[in-house]
Amino acid sequence: MKRHMHRLVTIAALAAPLGALAATELVGNGSFEANAQAAGSWSIYPSLNSWTGGAGGIELRNNVAGTAYDGSNFVELDTTGNSTMSQDLAGNNTGWVTLSFWYSAREYTRAGSNGLQLSFGGQSIDLLGTDNLGPGHQWLQYTGSFLLNGGNDTLTFTALGTSDSYGTSLDKISVTAVPEPASTAMLLAGLGVLGVVSRRRRPQS
């Protein structure tokens, strides 16, 4: 019984690094579901929950001219003309983070009509447009790592391509902190100890 209790205490202690490594989402309203939009409809808003729109606002769509990647809503930034949207991430973030999102050219559009510019962590990256000559979306995922220093954590998306109201769709934006190396080492060590405890268990007669 005493040996059994010792194993439980060991496992409980090693669970702490696992909890510490759980990814914390830094983006608010990344899938745009916090804003109500009637099914099969779209509207242009000055801003959305957690997002600030540019001069042309933000176009919110609910499964119209394509379906959302996550949930029912997605956005387009070529509203009545090329626009932007941005979000200042909560907290004074420092260290490496992983950014991911899904994007697609609008249905029945040529490459020159769409595209996005991403600005984050002191970098600007252009995602050039692609042809999408059929119905619906062809969702692609972008994933990248960025180093934040507490003063460069504003995430901005800007519509590129022809300003003709037929731009790139955007959905499921996520930013999560990359685990510190020390925490990763603690996790690996903990898993190793758990393996030893498991091997030492004897079958009960």
pLDDT of residue 93: 87
Question: Does the pLDDT value for residue 182 go beyond 90?
Answer: no
* CA 79 – CA 42 distance, rounded (Å): 11
Of 158, 173, 137, 172, residue with least CA distance to 78: 158
Mean pLDDT score, 46-61: 98
User: Per residue in 100-131, pLDDT tens?
Assistant: 999 999 999 999 999 999 999 999 999 999 99
pLDDT of residue 202: 52
User: Per residue in 19-33, pLDDT tens?
Assistant: 445 679 999 999 999
pLDDT of residue 179: 83
Collect all residues with Cβ–Cβ distance below 8 Å to 188 and sequence separation of at least 6: none
Tokens of 112: 């020159």
What does pTM read for this prediction? Answer: 0.80
Tokens of 87: 């979000």
